[in-house]
Copies of this chain bind each other. A is one copy, B any other.
Amino acid sequence: MTRLVLAAGTTETAAIDGVSAAGANDDLLVHTPSADAEILEYGHPVRAPVTPVSPSGCPTPAVVTRAVREQIPLPVTVVDAGLSEPTAAGTVTVGATPGRDIREDEPVPTAYGAWEAARQFGRALDDDLVLAETIPGGTTTALGVLTALGETDATGVSSSLRSNPLDLKQRVVEEGLAASDLAPGACDGQPKRAVRRMGDPTGSVLAGLTVGALETETPVTLAGGTQLLAVAALVRHAGGAGRLSLATTSFIDADPNVDLDAAAERFALDVMVTDPGFDDSHVAFEGYLAGEAKEGVGMGGALALADAAGVPMADVRDGIVDVYERLSV
């Protein structure tokens, strides 16, 4: 059996103006991971007050992953990787707390403990694992982690915005490094330290899960974009060995800020790219075509699983429209 494990968390880094599109406005951003987990589990928000959309109205990629779950069996486990708002989805506790702004000296004080608890959890699971994230601001913290590890040559980071605010992210990371008194690459071989000083709690949880699963020879697919590349970097810097896959979307593959081939070689990843074939036939797809969202909530992994199960992509698109329209009621 294949199981999707979603690390759902928050970082105050997302509140920096212009960093994230994972919410219609800053007040709603904090609800996005809780709402994503609910959409995945129930098909609609339950406790969360909102369906996450970008400022322009692009729906959360949770809609895509949910649509796949309505077509193939795909058990889901949500890990609380620092949620700051309640969720009606069941969550597993590993001791993570909401992340602070990476411009502070220690944005993830729970990084070590959550990593180890997630590692034990990963060791105990015997399903094939597809690991995913939902955390607004996550590409900025991914850049923080990659910079601290000295891996920015391997990959840049993507964005949920049409126009990637790379200069802003770079500035935020530089301020974070200064606050943490770190030079780029200072955390080479010290992945937990990289997360604690420059990352977010989902990085800690997903890297710990991966390391634990690899130790017990459980197959792991990292399902996502550059945030999951940062997880791969953390795993390799932790000495995590063994085969590791990355499943992502064609939107990430097409992103000029990402060189999937180079990252795959650097982190020894088998990369799968799935194109959902979005076109302008429905409003649910328009934001993606314009370069928004791109990935998240395991979208690329879910699409790959649907494809592997023989579900035609046209059926997946119909399912996405169906979930979207139920959400828009």
Residues in B whose Cβ lies below 8 Å from that of A89: 90, 92
Residues in B whose Cβ lies below 8 Å from that of A88: 92, 121, 124-125
Nearest residue (CB) in B for A125 is B46
Query: Which of B42, B73, B75, B121 contacts A47, CB < 8 Å?
Result: B121
Total copies of the chain: 2
Per the 8 Å Cβ criterion, residues 67-83 of A in contact with B are 73, 75, 77-79
Please count how many residues in chain A sit with their CB below 8 Å of the partner chain's CB atoms: 24
Query: Which of B46, B47, B90 contacts A91, CB < 8 Å?
Result: B90
> How far is B87's CA from A121's CA once the two chains are assembled, in angstroms?
10
Residues in B whose Cβ lies below 8 Å from that of A312: none
Residues in B whose Cβ lies below 8 Å from that of A121: 46-47, 88
Does the CB pair B93–A77 fall under 8 Å?
A: no
> How far is B77's CA from A41's CA once the two chains are assembled, in angstroms?
9
Interface: A127 (CB within 8 A): yes
> How far is B121's CA from A47's CA once the two chains are assembled, in angstroms?
7
Residues in B whose Cβ lies below 8 Å from that of A78: 90
Known: A42-B126, A73-B73. 11 other contacts (CB 8 A): A42-B125, A42-B127, A46-B124, A88-B92, A88-B121, A88-B124, A89-B90, A89-B92, A91-B91, A91-B92, A91-B93
